[in-house]
Chain A
């Protein structure tokens, strides 16, 4: 018998024996096998901190163990400055013909002759801002469109010069417009649009004493003559109509006089959505409450505080009166703001008294009178759209509070289970508390089969400045007896701070859960 032949004959036996040996080792047991296995593993780690119920922006952590502060600081910008930041769309139209510029007979024109020459002031009527007198403006957008229609049967080269429009390119703006010759049936038409973004306009006119005025100088020269005679003629019936339009002009900076206007501002301020606290007490010593106005406008304001309400109760005191707010000064083209503030907790005000009730809202309504004193002759008002004025409030309350009583109660229906893993042990909840609050948690599980399990965890008060951590452990049995029947779980949380306590903002309540018990493992 050859080797190959031998292998061929013995292979099935060999494979069979090999598999038998393997399966004999791993196929398992005659009967199901079980054993107990003791487990200690962490399963839960959660922490309650200030940021879980107070947004970051609403509190400041205490410094050097000092108390944290509730900080309510926001702008009250319910006013509209758009009227100041745009110019109305304006069209300036001029017609030149034999009636506006009378002449007799026919004027012979050859190439290069001046056909038309004039200067004209454009007076902007800023209808939305009565009393507004512009001397300067830097534009952030807009278009100037020049359109000319004529009846001359020759080509016309027009040049529009705006000496008071400056840009990065240089002083003055020249806009050429080339007009094709008209025919006996159709006029010659030419138009040019210019982007006004970034340009600076001097509105003081040709002599520097006007306001809202833009000067333009126009010259029109005869171009190539199409007549074979080499000349053309202008008759009294001929005309030239010039239209200059300003559309969508927006402003970045303004100068001049802004007129007298009243601006209204009002805002409902959401303070903290507080958890209902039993028997709350709060110590407001050191609390600050101020209204601020950061005036970045080069114009005076007078503020009238119409209403300050805290939790729908009017704040009493001498807050409601005219408060003069000085104008910003202008240095090197940039505003230096003028700061103004009003202490809401000034003597005679009950503002802080109202805060003791842990209010959830505050309302402020005010009016601003722009240029309370008429100083139109000085033309010294300034505004830069990049620096809007800000009306804002700043309330800072040191967190030194207390409470006592039932903080929270809830009832949870727990469904019964058909089966439960072969586990018998406990879920230990380790509580670590640095809040200066003594917390008592009461758990009661009323099982459907009539059994009752209850436990109480008393977590001592902690202290961040003193490095004290209050600890406690709740051990919840975890086994079939507890899990299968289902029932009702009643939870109560009682708190007691023993009077107002300072909070640093770094307090936390940590809950760590560890599973400890015996798992029955079964191998079938």
Chain B
């Protein structure tokens, strides 16, 4: 007997759309499988399927209150920036992620093992993702918003400041073992467009008496466009897509004696080739001065006022619209999750996740409550990634015998944008997942004890 294939119900389209539009920002989530596993030796059905959309934005320095103040505009007082600077780490960062992802597994192959069971099923996944990663030095924030008057005599390093962004599509195929649920896929990743800017080495210094100044800047900017959008606007033909190959998969390890599961998930471990022809600009220059002489030509005030700046931009910037191709790492991500069910109603989990251009690993720990076979909910604490400590709440609802809807809200108060509640939050995120449980004789029904209600 063949079970119906997985199809999205029409009513789910608004839900997904809401996930896209309100998603905002950043990534991943916990809220994965929660419950002790039950092995079912029965009918072979179609494998598990899931739809996932997410949006997440997070910073370790820019609070929602400050961002809202900047967004509202008007005159911003010095105390506002000083308050931000007080809690500003040495390297500020802001990350943004939005995307969707679908995984599926077919009915197992007809291959029969020694016990008469089918073992492997064809599996695959595809999706898209937008990633934006921004980093800046605390000193740069200080210079831009407060100026250098308060710290003359100090060298302000600018090294490490930069931004990169990319839009990726992915498609992968592989196999999943119906008993161990171990899964391995190999896929093609397309970067539709990407751009980056970075200060490889830079510094700014004004002496304590403000009688000498020096600045050095080694920086670059590149984009996967073969020309800048002209007056006609951006044309899709101007983009230079890049392609790569990555390995994705899942390695769950369950204990037969203890209610524990350890699970490693990884996605897009690989590289992609950025083709030649993109645009590249490089600046490697510096100057040191005690001030310009009053009279004379060239770099003197008289010369500047009468003849303009004697150095043209072309002398300082190397630029080309035919950059060489290069090999780059995919925005890989990997996570390790340890789950423990001390009682059927309770779940504890710890999850460590890295990659996806995050500046540091993201750690999540929390507890979940399963009051019934239809619902599970929990609270986590998350730190790392793009920001500091923040709360995460999640809920999973078994909307039908075969389907589970999961919603995870990261930093819930952050969604109260523009209110007092959100003032001290540093981001917000949402992840909506619709899972279809695997068929009979599969294992691990999304954390629920059984396929049956």
Contacts and interface: CB of A to CB of B under 8 A. Distances in A.
Given A21-B98, A31-B74, A45-B290, A39 B149 contact: yes
A37 B145 contact: yes
Interface stretch (A116-124, A445-453, A460-468, A508-516): A508-516
A17 B98 contact: yes
A154 to B, nearest CB: 79
Nearest to A430: B211
A473 to B, nearest CB: 11
Given A34-B76, A430-B211, A21 B24 contact: yes
Interface string B56-94: 010000000000001111111110010000000000000
A44 interface: yes
Given A33-B73, A45-B289, A13 B20 contact: yes
A38 B146 contact: yes
B257 interface: no
B96 A25 contact: yes
Contacts of B169: 7
Interface stretch (B124-132, B308-316, B326-334, B392-400): B124-132
A519 interface: yes
B145 A35 contact: yes
Interface string A2-16: 010011001001100
Contact of B148 (A29, A38, A44): A38
B212 interface: yes
Nearest to B192: A15
A25 B132 CA distance: 10
B167 A39 contact: no
B76 A512 contact: no
Nearest to B55: A21
B213 interface: yes
B295 A46 contact: yes
A48 to B, nearest CB: 10
A45 B78 contact: no
A185 interface: no
B416 interface: no
A54 interface: no
B150 interface: yes
A513 B290 CA distance: 9
Given A31-B74, A38-B150, A512 B130 contact: no
Interface string B260-273: 00000000000000
Interface in B274-298: 289-295
Interface residues of B, number: 50
Nearest to B17: A13
A519 B78 CA distance: 12
Nearest to B53: A17
B71 A30 contact: yes
Contacts of B167: 18
A33 B76 contact: yes
Nearest to A40: B210
A423 to B, nearest CB: 12
- Interface size for chain A: under 10, 10 to 19, 20 to 34, or 35 or more residues? 35 or more
Contacts of B96: 21, 25
A478 to B, nearest CB: 14
B294 A22 contact: no
A519 B147 CA distance: 9
B160 to A, nearest CB: 20
Contacts of B150: 38
Contacts of B165: 22
B436 to A, nearest CB: 16
B103 to A, nearest CB: 13
Nearest to B171: A3
Contact of B74 (A14, A33, A43): A33
A30 B148 contact: no
Contact of B211 (A22, A29, A32, A512): A512
B290 A17 contact: no
Contacts of A107: none
A31 B292 contact: no
B98 A41 contact: no
Interface in B1-47: 20-21, 23-25
Interface string A482-524: 0000000000000000000000000000011110101100000
B319 interface: no
A131 interface: no
A514 B211 contact: yes
A130 interface: no
B432 interface: no
A32 B76 CA distance: 11
Given A18-B98, A22-B132, A514-B210, A30 B73 contact: yes
B292 A35 contact: no
A42 interface: yes
A3 B126 contact: yes
B130 A38 contact: no
A378 to B, nearest CB: 62
B145 A45 contact: no
Interface of A: 3, 6-7, 10, 13-14, 17-18, 20-22, 25, 29-46, 430, 511-514, 516, 518-519
30 contacts: A7-B169, A10-B128, A13-B20, A21-B25, A22-B132, A25-B57, A25-B96, A25-B132, A29-B73, A30-B72, A30-B73, A35-B145, A37-B146, A37-B147, A38-B146, A38-B148, A39-B147, A39-B148, A40-B148, A40-B152, A40-B206, A41-B213, A42-B206, A42-B212, A42-B213, A43-B291, A44-B301, A45-B289, A45-B290, A46-B294
